[in-house]
């Protein structure tokens, strides 16, 4: 009877696994055979995890941005579905070999302007925007249709210490600008908004303040919040993230990462006020940003000894619930990562962390090792199938039917892991 039961269970799991979606290559093109290439901070400047809008689709057009081999900033446009790419060079060259210094694109739906922020890592940001309706008109694709390069976001002074520029369109169809002020381990996450041709400051919504006490007793008095995304869905803004501490003493070894815990906040008013996982209001942008001591934010606790990665990815399913990818070295491989690159390469694992409508979170390990230090990206389709692009472009999928137990498969090689 036991053997029969096990066979029935395995058969059911195999059926679920077979239901996991497969993917196939539709098209593969080359934008630039001579794009700039270097590795720094475990990344490359033309393809980075937090660079959410290096390729952007709007109306009947698709846009892309990168640095070419001469270090010039290039913007490209094509008409969908299969038009050829036209390129232009902005009057700006990449200032240093730093993979943080990505190009971010945004489009303001109200006036069809293309916004570009680039080349910053705890430095001044560089910014330009196009003439009205360039995103939709199909007018000639030339650099003269963009304004001068400035160190402000249009009319808005965002300071001289900026990192991780991102443009997002909110649920009111207004363009927003998300960035970090300050530095790693001592920075604030900021929000600005574009309306009627003018940028305005919404303010800091996650601050460096508060005191973190590690499991080893060490304390840290400053940090920054690294976010896994800034995702609007049905009027609600979802953000998951991890804190990075300034004081390295919170780690068991100086070769690790001071990242700890996965937190979750949401906003129902375009990022003005903030709720914790239970739905209680706990913060206000500009006047009372959330911090490391804000109650009810932690949804997956983890100390700073496991090489937890920052800035992975998130998405939201059709019912409005967030799904997050995090990765670290699980405790079964030891309780102290002494070298985060070596540790993550040897023993790092990615996890799918997702929320139910009741507010409870489930975490399931994806059954494929990272084999590198890098990050993974999650995408959810209209049928709530899940696709996770792991390092080396290994695509792992799960169907909505199986998501409760996460029967995952490598969608390219197609083995089923139970």
DSSP string across 64-133: EEEEBTT-EEEEEEEETTTPPPEEEEEEEE--SS-TT--EEEEEETTTTEEEEEE--SSB--EEEEB-TT
Any domain includes 103: yes
What pLDDT, on the 0 to 100 scale, is given for residue 403?
55
Rounded to whole angstroms, the Cα distance separating 171 from 283 reads 20
Q: Which two tokens stand for residue 168?
A: 């997002």
The answer to whether residues 170 and 270 touch, using CB atoms and an 8 Å cutoff, is yes
Q: Are 337 and 256 in contact (CB under 8 A)?
A: yes
Is 64 contained in some domain? yes
Cα(360)–Cα(404) distance, rounded to whole angstroms? Answer: 13
CB 258 within 8 A of CB 248: yes
Cβ atoms of 20 and 411 closer than 8 Å: yes
The answer to the question of residue 299 being in a domain is: no
Q: Which residue ranges of the chain lie beneath pLDDT 70?
A: 1-19, 403-418
Counting the structural domains of the chain, the total is 1
408: nearest Cα among 13, 25, 49: 13
Separation CA 146–CA 126 (nearest Å)? 13
Spatial separation of the C-alpha atoms in residues 51 and 230, rounded to whole Å: 12
Range of the domain at 101: 32-160
SS3 state at 310: coil
* 354-384 pLDDT tens trace: 999 999 999 999 999 999 999 999 999 999 9
Determine how many CB atoms are found less than 10 A away from the CB of residue 347: 19
Does residue 55 form part of some domain?
yes
In a domain, 123, yes or no: yes
Rounded to 5 degrees, what are φ and ψ at 256? -90, -155
Residue 9 lies in a domain: no
Convert the pLDDT of each residue in 55-67 to its tens digit.
999 999 999 999 9
Consecutive H or E run containing 273? strand 273-275
Judge whether 39 lies within some domain: yes
Could you tell me if residue 361 is inside a domain? no
CA dist., res. 174 & res. 169, Å (int)? 5
């Amino acid at each position: 009877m036991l053997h029969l039961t096990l066979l029935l269970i395995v058969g059911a799991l195999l059926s679920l696994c077979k239901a996991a979606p497969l993917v196939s290559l539709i098209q593969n093109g080359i934008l630039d055979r001579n794009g700039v290439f270097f590795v720094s901070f475990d990344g490359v400047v033309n393809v980075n995890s937090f660079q959410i809008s290096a390729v952007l689709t709007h109306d009947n057009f698709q846009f892309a941005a990168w640095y070419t081999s001469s270090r010039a900033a290039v913007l490209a446009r094509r008409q969908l579905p299969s038009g050829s790419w036209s390129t232009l060079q902005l009057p700006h060259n990449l200032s240093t070999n730093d993979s943080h210094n990505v190009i971010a694109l945004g489009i303001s739906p109200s006036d069809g302007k293309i916004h570009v922020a680039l080349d910053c890592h705890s430095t001044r940001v560089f910014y330009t925007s196009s003439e009205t309706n360039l995103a939709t008109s199909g007018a000639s694709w030339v650099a003269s249709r963009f304004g001068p390069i400035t160190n402000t976001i249009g009319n808005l002074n965002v300071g001289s210490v900026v990192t991780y520029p991102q443009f997002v369109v909110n649920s009111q169809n207004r363009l927003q600008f998300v960035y970090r002020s300050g530095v790693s381990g001592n920075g604030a996450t900021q929000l600005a908004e574009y309306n009627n041709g003018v940028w305005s400051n919404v303010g800091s919504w996650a601050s460096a303040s508060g005191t973190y006490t590690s499991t080893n007793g060490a304390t840290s008095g400053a940090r920054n919040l690294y976010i896994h995304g800034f995702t609007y869905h049905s009027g609600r803004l979802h953000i998951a993230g991890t804190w990075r501490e300034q004081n390295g003493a919170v780690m068991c070894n100086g070769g690790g990462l001071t990242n700890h815990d996965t937190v979750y906040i949401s906003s129902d008013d375009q990022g003005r006020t903030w709720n914790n996982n239970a739905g209680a209001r706990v913060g206000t942008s500009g006047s009372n940003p959330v911090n490391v001591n804000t109650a009810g934010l932690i949804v997956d606790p983890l100390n700073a000894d496991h090489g937890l990665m920052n800035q992975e990815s998130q998405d939201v399913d059709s019912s409005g619930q967030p799904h997050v990818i995090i990765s670290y070295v699980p405790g079964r491989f030891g309780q102290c990562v002494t070298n985060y690159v070596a540790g993550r390469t040897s023993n790092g694992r990615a996890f799918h962390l997702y929320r139910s409508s009741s507010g409870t979170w489930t975490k399931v390990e994806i059954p494929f090792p990272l084999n590198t230090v890098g990050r993974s990206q999650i995408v959810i389709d209209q049928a709530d199938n899940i696709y996770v692009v792991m390092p080396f472009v290994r695509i792992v999928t799960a169907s909505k039917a199986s998501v409760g137990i996460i029967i995952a498969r490598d969608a390219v090689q197609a083995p089923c892991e139970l």
